[in-house]
Structure 1
Amino acid sequence: MRLRTRIRTRRDRDRGQVALEYIGFVAILLLVGLAAIQLGVAAYAANQAGTGARAAARAASLDDPAGVSPQAAVAAAVSGWLHPKPEGSVGAGQATYTVTVEIPSVIPGISDFGTATRTSTMPKLHQD
């Protein structure tokens, strides 16, 4: 009789332990998942900055007054929610553009992941 009582009290004390361990594991798993998603968003932002820089440099290198402006080319090539900031110059025989994109955050409480900046240079097709 005494042994049964001792076994029951031990079981009663351990009740709920698995639930607490599961909650702790789920929290860690969620944090790792968010970090993986954040890494993907950062890679996507860097890719979009490169795409915007190439589009702007290509548009500036065409020297077509009726064509698309470099700023419009960036707006068309990059996802609007990334808010790209193009800067560039057209020099002797080439057009160089740099696009900067702020990396958005998906992790609550951390808002600054920096920026992704890419530069592209294209030769001018119509030399003056």
Structure 2
Amino acid sequence: MPYRRRLRGRDSGQVAIEYLGFIPVLLIVALAGIQIGVVAYAAEQAGTAARAGARAASLRQDAQQACAGAVSGGITVSCSSGAGGDSVTVTATVRIPKIVWDFGDATKTATMPLDH
């Protein structure tokens, strides 16, 4: 019996070492999940800005101002618009914030009919 007790005492530190080895993997997975959420959020904001800009441009208002007003605070958006025939198209570009990896920009386009 004393032999078993001695072995159990030696093994108790091994579990702590195994957890320490697994922590970096958990951190990378968590940061990747956060980064994916940020990418999705930036793409959603770009879509919202493009629709708002296209709506404003179709009413012959300032598309850039409408784009900027449609996104959440702290997000920078740039919009470009072009009219062609009976419709106007606005493209909104939002910079994706870098958490771990740099994914560049999220770009969305919306088209609305011109209001006559």
Matching residue within 7, 24, 29 for 1:32: 29
Query: What SS does the aligned partner of 1:75 have?
Result: helix
Q: Distance in 1 between matches of 2:5 and 2:86?
A: 87
Length-normalised TM-score, structure 1: 0.78
Matching residue within 56, 78, 100 for 1:85: 78
CA deviations on 1:68-88 (whole Å, 9 max, x unpaired) are: 511110111012322111111
Alignment of 1:45 onto 2:35: no
Q: Distance in 1 between matches of 2:52 and 2:5?
A: 73
Number of matched pairs: 116
Moved more, 74-83 or 53-62: 74-83
Query: What SS does the aligned partner of 2:99 have?
Result: coil
Query: What SS does the aligned partner of 1:104 have?
Result: coil
Unaligned ranges ≥5, structure 2: none
Corresponding position of 2:109:
119
Aligned counterparts, 1:1-128, within 5 A: 4=2, 8=6, 10=7, 13-63=10-60, 68-107=61-100, 110=101, 112-126=102-116
Unaligned ranges ≥5, structure 1: none
Report the Cα offset of residue 17 of structure 1.
Answer: 1.6
Length-normalised TM-score, structure 2: 0.85
Report the Cα offset of residue 93 of structure 1.
Answer: 1.5
Moved more, 26-35 or 13-22: 13-22
Q: State, as a whole percentage, how many aligned pairs show the same letter.
A: 54
What RMSD over aligned residues (CA atoms) do the two structures have, in Å? 2.0
